Amino acid sequence: MTKPIHGGVYLILGLGITVLSYYLLDKGQKMAIFFYAGIIMAAYGLIKLLIIRLTKERKPKDANARMVMPKQVPVKYCSRCGSQIRQQDQFCQFCGMKQY
């Protein structure tokens, strides 16, 4: 699988070109094309990063959902006979003692 060029590369490169050409602009308007090209490149990188971020955000959620362990039933113990009963049980299923 070939890895596509990271959006950050475009962003950094674009910003670099923009900044560089901005300083070089003093020497001649010929560099203006690079200035705008740099801005476009940086914008493209930024959009690419945003798209990756948006698509990546969905993935961990799915992964987490798959990784979620079967819910452990919370347990407590009967105050009278000490039997293990479910948290939601109001009465002990062994001795019938009301639980609080």
Binding site for Zn ion (CB under 5 A): 78, 80-81, 83, 92, 94-95, 97
Query: The tokens of 30 are what?
Result: 């010929």
Can you state the angle between helices 32-67 and 7-24, rounded to 10 degrees?
160
Task: Tell me how far, at minimum, the Cβ of 89 lies from Zn ion, in Å.
Answer: 10
How many of the other CB atoms lie within 10 Å of CB of 41?
21
Comparing CB distances to Zn ion, the nearer of 16 and 83 is: 83
State the minimum distance, in angstroms, from the CB of residue 94 to Zn ion.
5
3-state secondary structure of 56: helix
Which CB sits closer to Zn ion, 12 or 97?
A: 97
- Nearer to Zn ion by C-beta: 33 or 81? 81
Residue pointed to by tokens 């020497």: 27
Least CB distance to Zn ion at residue 72 (A) = 21
